[in-house]
Amino acid sequence: MCLLQILRGDILPAQFARFQKYARYVRTVAGATNIIDYSVFRQLYYFNHERPLLPSLRDYCCAGPGSPLSFIYVVPPHLQALNLTLSHWSYEIPYPASQVALTLRFGSDLTFLSDFKYLASLDLRGSLCVLDSRLLRILADMEKLRVLKADTVDLSSDFNAALPLVVFHALEHLSLSADTQHSIHLLSVISTPVLRTLEWDPSTDVTDIEDYRHFLECLSSKYASSLHGLDLSFQLNRTPPLTTSGYRYILDPLLSFHHLRSISITFDLPSPALSLSENDVRDFAKAWPEATDICLILRCATPAPALSSLIHFARHCPNLKSLNLDGLDLGTVSAVDQLDPLPLHRLTHLSICDNFWDTDPDPVAVAEFLDAVFPHLQLQDDDPGWRALSWKTHSSRPAVNSHLRALRLARQH
């Protein structure tokens, strides 16, 4: 049903009755609802005897100037499952200055959320909203809040460190894009006893790897024994000195996270200047024995770990289903007859990459190695769920696949 068609001119009782009939079935609202002025929703709200217009709403994504104001007329406050995204796109769409100013004032004050005690998921990313101490305590009162996502965090202005921790009893997933210091501050003042997954993609680059090390130490001291999922992104805006920089040094605090099931770590560097050894790969694999999905996007300085480093995941991660590892040296491949006996591993998805090397891999040697270590890899290039074997010389990939298929056919016969 199109509101723009219904709301032309005066609303007749029959028209509003039709609107109410369909409104009862609406579960999701998404998109730029700002195309309808909030005063229209207010008028409908009063026409509806000051009851929310969409009583069964479960998922609401409000975006654009003025749309947060319509929120209070649309959403019933008693819902136990509501995903709310507060975004603003005022720079994309021309609006009167007064309306944009109204949005700015509204975006900085989210005290109205205190009426919605049963929110299950709140997404503040890409919005004007700042997660400050006042909003933090409002959200902590939401006993059903399981997912919280925020860009901007600032607790410095009015937070009293002597006060008790802010407790989120139900929070299971936290996603932050705040910088290192503000993220550390937030983690230090909240208690999240059932937190299971954390995403962190800082909004600003750093120049010192010590900032990242400090953040991971803070993370480890609080969540090493409880987290099941980590998704971390690191961005350095200058090349660190080779003599002091290694992935192992930065990521060492993560070796205490023995219950991780999903790990994604991405480094965005100006050049491949951080070192990674085969022993480092071994220690990562040993640290995450329960992992089912590991993604390590790294740019390695020479010498890089050889393809044989994958053996450590086969030995120490028995439940692993998906592995993505960049920065390997595929030019040197261990012969199959030199491998110690390995249990048949159930890994099905593999992405390996040597984008920073010029040596073409030997397709036969690579295929024999992968078949011996991971005999259950999916090979269909047309399978959208398969992350293909990849390296700089993409012409080698079909040859590897061809040899893998031949090896499997030989085993079957």
The domain limits of the chain are: 205-413
Per-residue pLDDT, averaged over 145-172, amounts to 82
Are 130 and 156 in contact, with CB atoms under 8 Å apart?
Answer: no
Residue 61 pLDDT > 60: yes
Q: Which one-letter amino acid corresponds to residue 73?
A: Y
Q: How many CB atoms sit inside 10 A of residue 18's CB? A: 13
Cα 50 to chain centroid, rounded: 38
Cite the beta strand spans of 102-200 per DSSP E: 121-123, 130-131, 147-150, 152-153, 166-167, 173-176, 190-191, 197-200
**Least confident window among 94-98, 259-263, 280-284:** 94-98
Going from the C-alpha of 112 to that of each of 49, 122, 134, 138, the distances in angstroms are 20, 14, 12, 9
pLDDT at 355: 54
Per-residue pLDDT, averaged over 215-235, amounts to 96
Spelled out in words, what is the top-level CATH class assigned to the domain 205-413?
Answer: alpha beta
**Least confident window among 56-60, 143-147, 308-312:** 56-60
- 81 or 47: which carries more pLDDT confidence? 47
pLDDT at 80: 57
Residue 402 pLDDT > 60: yes
- C-alpha span between 82 and 122 (Å, rounded): 8
| Locus of tokens 């994309």 | 92
Residue 133 pLDDT > 90: no
Residue 174 pLDDT > 50: yes
DSSP 305: P
What tokens appear for 64 in the block?
């654009």
- C-alpha span between 305 and 301 (Å, rounded): 10
Mean pLDDT of the chain: 79
51-78 as b/e: b if 16+ CB within 10 A: ebbbbebbbbbbbbbbbbbbbbbbbeee
Highest-pLDDT range among 128-142, 238-252, 275-289:
275-289
Q: What is the pLDDT of residues 2-59, one digit of tens each?
A: 444 445 567 788 888 898 899 989 888 776 555 677 777 888 888 888 888 888 887 7
What tokens appear for 332 in the block?
């040197």
Model confidence, pTM: 0.84
What order do you get walking across the sheet with 197-200 strand by strand?
28-29, 59-63, 83-87, 121-123, 147-150, 173-176, 197-200, 229-235, 262-268, 293-297, 322-326, 349-353
**Least confident window among 3-7, 102-106, 322-326:** 102-106
